[in-house]
Structure 1
Amino acid sequence: MSLSPRFIAVILAFLISLLTTTFLAFVDGVSRGMLFVTAISSFVTSFFLVLYTVDILVFREVNKMYRTIQKLKMRDFNIAPRKKLIQESNPLRTINDEIFVYVTKKQKEIDELKKLELFRREFLADVSHEFKTPIFAAQGFIHTLLDGAMEDENVRERFLLKAAKNLDSLDILVKDLLVLSQMETGDIKMNFLPMDIRLLTSNVYGRLENIAADRNIALKIKPDNMPEVWVKADPDRMEQVMLNLIENAIKYGNENGKVIVHFNEGKKYIEVAIRDNGPGISPEHLNRIFERFYRVDKSRSKEIGGTGLGLAIVKHILNAHGTKIAVMSKPEKGTTFSFKLEKASVESTDADDQEIILAESNS
């Protein structure tokens, strides 16, 4: 129960009047009229004194708090106007509640800043490590050649090829970082067009068939009764998404396995699922696989190659399409990446135009 200054003044004035009247009642020669006048006068006097004292204390504390609040950003508070606040039954409690909410909000912001700082440190460490490996390798090969190995044609060609390979890896890493940065800042705009994502998937399969053949992995598209799957998306960026997800499924899946791209048609959206029957991903890694440079099996990832930015780029591209990517995985059961895209009308374009779009994206 919240007590207003007036209620407190009435209670205290009544008690003071009662005590004064009771004390005078034991004095000889005091009439009832005198007791009545004493009771009324003591009550009125005490009421106004107490009310003034309580109000002064309340106003003073409220004003102190207001001066403190005004030193901060007022937009962080949702406080009533000063007159309305003071008229409340317990303005101190109201301000205290607001300050508690403010402190809680700021604590969350501080916790978020700490997480971002930790992420920044990890990111800088990862970037430094990723840059260091190809740079040092290429540097070692080139310095070896300069120190005299250049005279041997076999050694020279082999070392130059290795140096070039490491520099190519560095170039891909820089490009992926640039793309990721541009997506996060919104510098890259999506060009949404009607496109046949099944045809795009077939083209991606064609680009990756040699890698799949080396690991004896079968590439399939389902269902068979959907020869065309029209969606509204950016063809170039969607090719990046499918290329990353399918290539990961091939590289990290089991040998002699299979990779299936499955399309499920809804009323407004097409669900795209990329599934493999590989070793799967442990639950503790699922929440972090879309982070930059995060690798589930670092030793194996280094052998396979890649920048560790593919899934991060995929996530940002799909976010720009107004959708999110989901992942389901169980150890030794395989992994499934899925997302939804808005359906497109077939009449809005034709197959020839679609082939031109895909040809431009492949060039």
Structure 2
Amino acid sequence: MTVNFKKTYRFAVMSSLYITFFSTGLIIILTFLFFSFSLQFCLIFAFFIAFFSFVVIQYRVERFIYKKVKKIYDDVALLESSTFRSQPITTDMATLTREVKKFATDKKLEIETLKIREEYRREFLGNVSHELKTPLFTVQGYLSTLLDGAMNDKAIRKKYLERAEKGVERLIYIVQDLDMISKLEIGELNLEIAEFDIVKLVQNVFDLLEMKASKKDILLMFDMKYNQPIIVVGDQEKIQQVVMNLVVNSIKYGELQGSTEVSIEELTKDKVIIRITDNGEGIIKKNIPRLFERFYRVDKSGARTEGGSGLGLSIVKHIIEAHNEKIYVDSTFGVGSEFSFTLQKVRNKIKNSEQQSK
């Protein structure tokens, strides 16, 4: 174990000088009083006193500080062996203070992170329990009613079985979404990368959700007429799921007789950004950082009545990140929200399509 002593020498030198001056002064006075004065004797005496004092003080100080510091290192090493065991023990107080302060700061950050994770874990488990409990109790209630005698009535039997089936479908939907997120996180869900027209994909989503939007009299539209295809690169099925989830959310939280607008803009020469904008209720600023957490709902009560697994935005984020792209949120409470994400575009295909049209 290497030991570095840096600043104890100054302390030992100064202390030995004090002792030397006192001892030499005392011996000079005694010599004058009782003996004949000898300068040579006094110098030799002063040298040996200084040398002896320096060695003793230095040794004692080093051993004393070393023992104390070693105990600190041993105690701290129990908590962080990888940091302190690999470093030589130092008795330099400035260095020691800096190392211990850094260690304390790192540990504080680690503890705070663990607290946040623990809080998130508890909330996540509570949300999973709630999401699964609701359809399970629904299915159990209908089946119990049928077993208690209601299945003798054909009309009630059919109605209850259909409702129980919807509960099972929701359970399957939640489990499938959880499975997809898990695979995306660990990289097991392979993306089928290909070129496709993002304009056509958005129009397909509009067609699929037209009836859902019409129930709230929400208009699904582009910001402008796109006469030419915009070819991008990605997993077409997964990107359609992204657009579908974002448009569904805009309908779910949109105002009656509102609108959902999609725009496709050139961000850079190699990227396009797809924006989904609504004029719904918007999102409170403090909720925005947590939007992409699993099962996190801005509206804890009303959102569940709209259905869904509570995993839509989390899936969206994982799919976009799996494409090495970015997703953004901009929302003003009471005004509306805009979700946007980037995609790699195929520039040559756009140019070729424009040339063909000309």
TM, length-normalised to structure 2: 0.87
Aligned residues: 343
Following superposition, the deviation at residue 110 of structure 1 comes to 2.4
Aligned to 2:199: 198
Q: In structure 2, do the counterparts of structure 1 residues 79 and 96 end up closer, same or farther at CA, with 3 Å as the change threshold?
A: farther
Q: Distance in 1 between matches of 2:112 and 2:77?
A: 24
Cα distance in 2, alignment partners of residues 122 and 70 from structure 1: 34
| 1:148 equivalent in structure 2 | 149
Aligned to 2:162: 161
Q: Structure 1: give runs of 5+ residues left out of the alignment.
A: 352-363
C-alpha distance after superposition, 1:53-74 (max 9, x if no partner): 2233344445445555665654
Q: By how many angstroms is 1:246 displaced?
A: 0.7
Deviation at 1:195, TM superposition (A): 2.4
2:15 is matched with which residue: 12, 32, 35? Answer: 12
Q: How far apart are residue 33 of structure 1 and its match?
A: 2.5
Residue in structure 2 matched with residue 317 of structure 1 by the alignment? 319
The structural deviation recorded for 1:161 is: 1.5
Give the structure 1 partner of residue 356 of structure 2.
none
Moved more, 284-293 or 59-68: 59-68
Shift of the alpha carbon at 1:309?
A: 0.7
Range with bigger deviation, 172-181 or 106-115: 106-115
1:225 and 1:77, CA in 2 relative to 1: closer, same or farther beyond 3 A? Answer: farther
For residues 7-36 of structure 1, the C-alpha deviation after alignment (integer angstroms, 9 at most, x for no partner) is 122111111111112222322233322222
SS at match of 1:287: helix
Give unpaired runs (5+ residues) of structure 2. Answer: 354-358
Which position in structure 2 is the counterpart of 1:49?
56
Distance change (3 Å), C-alpha of 1:116 and 1:205: same
Distance in structure 2 (CA, Å) of the matches to 1:283 and 1:35: 82
1:267-306 alignment, distance < 5 Å: 267-306=269-308
Instruction: Give SS of 2:275's match.
Output: strand
Give the corresponding residue for 1:355: none
Q: 1:120 to 1:57 in 2, by over 3 A?
A: same
1:298 counterpart SS class: coil
Secondary structure in 2 matching 1:259: strand
Report the Cα distance in structure 1 between the residues aligned to 2:62 and 2:84, rounded to whole angstroms: 24
Q: Which secondary structure state, in structure 2, belongs to the residue aligned with residue 26 of structure 1?
A: helix
Shift of 1:289: 1.9
Mapping 1:119-268, distance limit 5 Å: 119-225=120-226, 227-265=228-266, 266-268=268-270
Distance 1:117 1:335 in 2: 30
Work out the CA distance in 2 between the residues paired with 1:40 and 1:260.
Answer: 93
Change beyond 3 A, Cα 1:13–1:118: same
Partners in 2 of 1:186 and 1:105 — Cα distance?
Answer: 30
Measured against aligned partners, the alpha-carbon deviations of 1:256-310 in whole angstroms (never above 9, x if no partner) come to 1111111120223211111001111122322222222122223321221111110
Q: Would the alpha carbon gap of residues 144 and 107 (structure 1) be closer, same or farther in structure 2, given more than 3 Å must change? A: same
CA distance in 1, matches of 2:144, 2:270: 59
1:188-246 deviations in Å (ceiling 9; x for gaps): 12233222222111111111111122222221123435622222222121111111001
Q: Once the two structures are superposed, what CA deviation does each residue of 1:135-188 show, in whole Å capped at 9, x if it has no partner?
A: 111111122122222222222222121111111111111111111222222221
Offset at 1:92? 4.3
Of the three residues 330, 340, 343, the one matched with 1:341 is 343
Q: 2:27 aligns with which of 24, 27, 38?
A: 24
Q: Is the 8 A contact 1:183 1:317 kept in 2?
A: yes
Between stretches 298-307 and 234-243, larger displacement belongs to 298-307
User: 2:85 & 2:332 partners in 1: Cα distance?
Assistant: 47
Name whichever of 61-70 and 334-343 sits farther off.
Answer: 61-70
1:357 corresponding residue in structure 2: none
Identity %: 36
CA gap 1:336/1:75 in 2 versus in 1, 3 angstroms: same
Q: 1:332 aligns with which of 312, 326, 334?
A: 334
Give the AA of the match of 1:8.
Answer: F
